[in-house]
Structure 1
Amino acid sequence: MAPKDKKKKLDTKRKLIAKLNPQSPISEQYRTIRTNIQFSAVDSEVRSIMVTSSAPGEGKSTTAANLAVVFAQQGKRVLLVDADLRKPTVHYTFNLPNTFGLTNVLTKRMELNEAAIETDEKNLFVLSSGPIPPNPAELLGSKSMTELFEQFYQEFDVIIMDTPPVLAVTDAQILSNSCDGTILVISSGKTETEQALKAKELLTSASCNLLGVVLNNKKMPKNDQYYYYYGNK
């Protein structure tokens, strides 16, 4: 195996730990996040969850992918949507093509059942971004996106939306109204407090249902393992 292939395989293993090492402490934390999400709604079930961050590189795509895995492991029919139409990564994580996906469905060039790919994780489907469009925000805020959400709910139990960072572009704010809940991912030792607060402010001003915050890359002192902490807003 070439060094590049080995690195790619190792990166995938790190990113999809809930699938490849379900007994690990990190996988358990993802299951805790799943449980907290399910208990966060008293009157109605949270079926669509938007995952975002304040800035790039904080782990929102890894969080979205692993959340999708643990929901699927619970027996839910799950769709992970790469709604980051600027720097999509979900297809890399699952080693899938990105020649078609969300943008093809939104522009009526493909049907959802053609574009969504079933993964080797039972019950988990992925809708990659597809070709990167010149107008991501307009596409995500379009009538086609509203109609597509109706299809999502008909076909799937849980929809996880991986969206761009809040402080970078407006895409996440646009989509937050369409989702039942939003999770903000911040990176321990990297995300500035001011950034996190500004991201929260932008999301709440968009009238989204902010379920909580995931603290990513926090090292445990004893065994130097990473863990994730889900806290309320």
Structure 2
Amino acid sequence: MEAAPTSRSENKRSRPPRNAAATRQRILAAAVGEFAANGFSGARIENIARAGKSNIRMIYHHFGSKDQLYIEVLEHVLDQLREDELGLDFEHVSPREGVHRIFDFIHGHFASHPELMSLLSSENLNKAAFLQRSTRIPERASPVIAALATLLRRGAELGVFRSDVDPLHLYVTIVSLAYFHRSNAYTLSQIFRHDLLDPAWQLQHREQAREMVFAFLAPVNA
């Protein structure tokens, strides 16, 4: 006996609801790759739609514009960095171990997230025109600097750190030591005829950079 034909309304009711959050996340992930590879100007919405298994209409539905999508991409990659930084345990370790963890985390994060380097380099070329429109990013950065300031203060009180270190200066120094040799690896490798992306070279450079940070932090009369 044949089954009775299913009405159109019954078909609609039986379909699972579209997962808007999953669609949004697919689009965002695709946009990270597209903007990292091509910058804001070179990125194409149709490429994002194809990679995100969506369509252009849905991109504008979820994000409103290419500008806003790009801003949310920047917020997303920096949020990942901040979330993981703030997840580090600073309260139950010595000041030296705390700074050690920050250094190793930042160094490792840039190694495993090359898209972050590409996006930051691209936005620097834009003179941070899009980052200026984000309120989330400055708010998320403040707790990280505050945590580092606490470690520096505790270290100075214990006599293991010098007392005149500015936490923002130190943070920027650590980021630069984790960032520059990677973001410029291709040009530097060509100039010096040495593969700066070689894992052994990267490891040696990390150890040297870490030693430089702690040599700087040591008390002046130590």
> Do Structure 1 and Structure 2 share a fold, with TM-score over 0.5?
no
* Structure having the higher Rg: 2
TM-score by length of 1: 0.27
Which one has the bigger helix percentage?
Answer: 2
Q: Structure 1 or 2: larger strand share?
A: 1
TM-score by length of 2: 0.28
